């Protein structure tokens, strides 16, 4: 009788440590990924509203995102670029990944179209044709 009790006690103890380890690792990786994504976006840019625009469901991993602020300055992440340097980078992108690389222009709503056009011209000059404008779908 005493033997049977002892055996049951041993089988009831489930070791949760590996599961907790995995859960913590997943939480840490999600937090780090979100932070990196935030860092790559220029938060001073106020995107225009497009309630009827198609929602972004699947993003091509090759997508190049370029920011254009209210003053027409071009940024790659937090790095400011001249239109000429941007053109050179786009040419290198085309030589490495081809002409069908999508380019997302995150232009501030107040940016003059002339400044957005410079980025579009650089894309066209490099041979890139999949150009998209980023916009906000819903008001937060």
Site for another protein, rule CB under 8 A: 48-56, 68, 99, 104, 107-114, 116-117, 120, 123-124, 128-137
Measured from the CB atom, is 38 or 52 closer to another protein?
52
Q: Which residues contact 125 (CB under 8 A, 6 or more apart)?
A: 87, 90, 91
Per-residue buried b or exposed e for 89-117, using 16+ beta carbons within 10 Å of the residue's own CB: bbeebbeeeeeebebbbbbbeebeeebbe
* Nearest Cα residue to 67 out of 34, 129, 111, 99: 111
Nearer to another protein, 25 or 63 (CB): 63
Q: Toward another protein, which CB reaches closer, 41 or 89?
A: 41
Question: In the bound complex, what is the minimum distance in angstroms from residue 124's beta carbon to another protein?
Answer: 5
Shortest separation between residue 53's beta carbon and another protein, angstroms: 3
Nearer to another protein, 24 or 129 (CB): 129
| Residue 41 main-chain phi, psi, to 5 deg | -105, 140
- What tokens appear for 26 in the block? 């997943």
What is the spatial distance between Cα 52 and Cα 32, in angstroms, rounded to a whole number? 32
In the complex, minimum distance from the CB of residue 80 to another protein, in angstroms, rounded to a whole number? 18
Question: For residue 72, how many other CB atoms are within 10 A of its CB?
Answer: 16
Q: How far is the CB of 133 from another protein (least distance, A)?
A: 5
């Amino acid at each position: 009788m005493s033997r049977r009790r002892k055996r049951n006690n041993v089988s009831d103890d489930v070791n949760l440590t590996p599961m907790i380890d995995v859960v913590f690792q997943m939480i840490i990786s999600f937090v780090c990924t979100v932070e990196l994504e935030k860092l790559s976006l220029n938060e001073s840019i106020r995107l225009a509203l497009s309630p009827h625009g198609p929602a972004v469901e699947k993003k091509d991993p090759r997508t190049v995102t370029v920011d254009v602020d209210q003053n027409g300055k071009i940024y790659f992440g937090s790095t400011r670029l001249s239109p000429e340097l941007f053109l050179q980078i786009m040419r290198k992108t085309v030589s490495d990944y081809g002409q069908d690389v999508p380019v997302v222009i995150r232009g501030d709503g107040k940016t003059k179209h002339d400044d957005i056009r410079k980025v579009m011209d650089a894309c066209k000059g490099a041979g890139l044709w999949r150009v998209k404008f980023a916009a906000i779908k819903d008001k937060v």
